[in-house]
Amino acid sequence: MRRLLTLLVAAALAVAAPIDKQFHVRIAMRDGVQLCANVFRPAGAGRWPAILVRTPYGKGADINANYQAFVGRGYAVVVQDVRGRFDSKGVFDPLYQETPDGVDTLKWIAGQPWANGNVGMIGGSYLGIVQWRLALANDPHLKAIFPNVSGYDDYLDRFYSTGGALKLGQRLLWISDNLKAPDFIKPEFSRFVPHLPLRTADRAAAGQRVDMYQKALDHPAYDAFWKSMSVRERIGEIRVPVFSAGGWYDNFVESDLEAFAALRKLGRQARLVVGPWPHNMSATFAGVDFGPQSSIPLRTLQLEWMDYWLKPGPDKKLPSAGPLRIFVMGANRWRDEQEWPLKRTRWTPMSLTSRGNANSLSGDGVLTARPARNAPPDRYAYDPRNPVPTLGGAVCCNPKIYPWGPLDQRPVEKRRDVLVYESRPLKEEMEVTGPIKAILHVSTSAPDTDFTAKLVDVFPDGHARNLTDGILRLRYRHSLEKPVAARPNEVYAITIDAGVTSNVFRAGHRVRLEISSSNFPRFDRNPNTGRPVADDTEVRGALQAVYHDHRHPSHVLLPVIPRAARR
């Protein structure tokens, strides 16, 4: 109660504090292009630490509540339109511009008479991406960053999956919303997202060619083009303290956790909080309630983090919470951890088996503790003209058009091209926290195809709640760097990265695994031709098989946290 009263008083003082406002301040970059910013700072003389926010979505017409809280706490706040967006000049080129423009902006802030030279950054999604990019520069003025739901790699987060399939729905929706040609009448999502070839889908979505989209299609593998701009590849260079936030149903959460783990391993100052959220951390899910405790005081965490790193003082200390705070769904509680993945994890395989008819929810697919000795493979036909539809999950970024989060998967599981494997009802609860991997033995009639995996929590009443999912484009079965064509009907051992989660399967619940070959439009459809996907207009059907016998022990590997070892 005392902490709550303190926060309320601080908020009231922040609202009442007089603020000096400067709008449309021009800041020159090294090439002469001028970027536009709004500057808010405490009224009167003084030298203040600064919070920098760089956005492609418009700096706004006035101060908002979050920025006002920082000004009331004794910070100047600079909100800047990135190059080529809104009131800033130049050409928008998000793959390359943010590091040099960010450095030039830091230099400008440090040279202002109201600045003391210490700068922090806040913001989510693209506003978080620019923080990671600027952190690579290790500019002495940048003291701390606080990126939310942002990830740290363009290939793996914003364009392609860890299995090499294009994140088509997310990319085209963002392009349609943000890069539309003047006077172009935006069509409905369902009209442009199935457009073929992918090469001209940007024109269908936005009415014009989009350079970053074209470059992404030119580089479908994780090659030197992507590595040259990747924060992931250069994470060892970052020395700026990082506090990030992610959501179990956000597209970027896997990278948020990987970045945290990498920085901690290097001995850097890094913290992360992950809750039961989609890309919008304040959003709620229809019909699913994780409880009032599932929200966090994000602004308070930001203020405390910046106070520690940007303001001098001998008695300062970081909050005592662990470096990683995760929300365990199912149990619906927060828990502090020290590392990721958790050291006490028991990697537990659950084997796939059936009598050869795991097709659909009414099939005979089973998840068991022991692999089957002799069991016929499960087969299904994948038709790119009729792909398995995406139903919730970690998608982005408009839930009214493209629903996200936990949704009942039974409508999808009725399809014959979805294999369903399910455990018996659990006799006692089981916590699964960590990365999910599906290790499968598969074959296809095509020279290239996709395989998907989805982990589902099945309630006693039959409700099937999706937890996480993933995909593998078969040409990338060895690595994302070097695609290799498949040989029709040859059996391959593959690993599908099905994402990350933290969930307690309650007693009486079942563990379910879905296997298929499409999840559209979360991922683009594989045309099954083996040719470059971006320019292909032909699609072919493929006959798929999943093997699960003593020579082909297909299984899902679950990171189980023993009850006795939970904190």
Annotated active-site positions, please? 125, 250, 279
Three-state secondary structure call for residue 494: strand
3-state percent breakdown (helix, strand, coil) of the chain, nearest 5 = 25, 30, 45
Pairing verdict, β 76-81 and 48-55: parallel
- Residue by residue, DSSP assigns 101-156 as HHHHHHHHHHTSTTEEEEEEEEEETHHHHHHHHHHTTT-TTEEEEEEES--S-III
Q: What is the DSSP letter of 534?
A: G
Distance CA 180, CA 268 (A): 41
Distance CA 88, CA 98 (A): 13
Q: Is the peptide bond before 341 cis (omega within 30 degrees of 0)?
A: yes
Q: How many CB atoms lie within 10 A of CB 195?
A: 17
Helices 298-310 and 65-72 meet at what angle, rounded to 10? 40
Distance CA 119, CA 48 (A): 9
Distance CA 487, CA 480 (A): 18
Instruction: Determine the distance from the C-alpha atom of residue 236 to the mean position of all C-alpha atoms in its chain, rounded to a whole number.
Output: 21
Q: Which amino acid is at 315?
A: D
Do 486 and 128 meet the contact criterion of CB atoms below 8 Å apart? no
Q: Which long-range contacts (CB under 8 A, 24 or more apart) does 365-370 make?
A: 365/419, 365/420, 365/421, 365/422, 366/421, 366/422, 366/423, 367/421, 367/422, 367/423, 367/511, 367/512, 367/513, 367/556, 368/423
Q: Which of 167, 154, 175, 169 is nearest to 222 (CA)?
A: 154
Do 119 and 141 meet the contact criterion of CB atoms below 8 Å apart? yes
Q: What is the DSSP letter of 259?
A: H
- Residue by residue, DSSP assigns 341-364 as S-TT-EEEEEEEE-SS--BSTTS-
Strands across the sheet containing 142-148: 19-28, 34-42, 76-81, 48-55, 115-124, 142-148, 242-247, 270-275, 324-328, 333-337
